[in-house]
């Protein structure tokens, strides 16, 4: 069990969806800090500490990445591939959270070594439950790498 707040990097281009995620985490009082970036390029800049994110202090390594797939410029797959092929970052747990339930997307995500794949539910109560359980699992149960 962790006693520190979970730092989640939320990579999501849809501002509405991001709001839903943040609110859900807050409502369920899962201890967490959420950093939100709106496209793949920003996500990579943050993770590799480049561009506007060169300050290491202000860009702590996240404990979990929630990653959307379809984003403008650099998409989720690209981010996933880069993270998982980086010697520094490949152990970071990445949970793909997307609207797509297509077999091809799921297969591709796992091929790129995603740690998990969840489909955003249409039903709001389901949505909040997902967030709650997600938080519980990764905060409470999962052993993070060093």
Partner 1 sequence: MLILAITSLVIRVIVTVWTCLAYRRLRDRRIGLAAALALVLTFRMILSVFWADFSAWSKSDLWDQLIAFFISVLLFAFVTVTIRLMEEQQQLEELQRKTNAERESLLERLSTLLDRMPVGCILNDVEFRFIFWNPAAEKIFGYQFEEVRGKHPFGMITPQSSQPIVEQIFRRLSVGDMTANAVSENITKDGRTIVCEWSNTPLFKADGTFQGILSMCQDITERTRTENERESLLKRLRMVLEEMPIGCILTDSEFKFTFLNPAAERTFGFREDELLGMRPLDTVVWPPSRPLVEDRFQRLAQGDLSASGSNENVTKAGRVIVCDWSNIPLFNPDGTFQGILCMCQDITERRRAEIERESLIGQLETKNAELERFAYTVSHDLKGPLITVKGFLGLLEQDLQTDDRAAVKSDVDRISAAADRMKQLLDELLELSRIGRIVNPPQVFPLADLAREAAEHLDGQLRERNVCVEIADNLPTVRADRIRLLEVLQNLLENSVKFLGEQPNPRIEIGSRTGAEEPIYFVRDNGIGIDPRFHDKVFGLFEKLAPDSPGTGIGLALVKRIIEVHGGRIWIESAGPGTGTTICFTLPTTGKTDYASRRESDS
| Residues at the contact surface with partner 1, assessed by CB under 8 A | 13-17, 19-20, 23, 27, 38-39, 70-73, 99-100, 102, 120-125, 127-128
Residue among 53, 126, 43, 124 at smallest CA distance from 81: 43
**Alpha helix ranges (H) inside the chain:** 15-27, 40-47, 76-84, 103-111, 124-136
The minimum distance between CB 110 and partner 1, in angstroms, equals 18
The minimum distance between CB 122 and partner 1, in angstroms, equals 5
The minimum distance between CB 94 and partner 1, in angstroms, equals 20
d(CA 70, CA 79): 11
Smaller CB separation from partner 1, 16 or 55: 16
């Amino acid at each position: 069990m962790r006693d520190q707040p979970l730092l989640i990097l939320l990579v999501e281009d849809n501002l509405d969806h991001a709001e839903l995620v943040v609110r859900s985490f807050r409502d369920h009082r899962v201890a967490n800090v959420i950093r939100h970036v709106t496209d793949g390029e920003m996500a990579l800049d943050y993770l590799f500490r480049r561009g506007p994110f060169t300050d290491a202090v202000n860009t702590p390594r996240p404990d979990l990445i929630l990653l959307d797939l379809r984003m403008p410029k650099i998409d989720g797959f690209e981010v996933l591939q880069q993270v998982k092929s980086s010697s520094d970052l490949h152990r970071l747990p990445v949970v793909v959270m997307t609207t797509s339930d297509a077999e091809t997307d799921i297969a591709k995500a796992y091929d790129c070594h995603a740690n998990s794949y969840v489909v955003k539910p249409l039903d709001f109560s389901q949505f909040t439950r997902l967030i709650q359980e997600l938080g519980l699992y990764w905060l409470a149960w999962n052993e993070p790498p060093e």
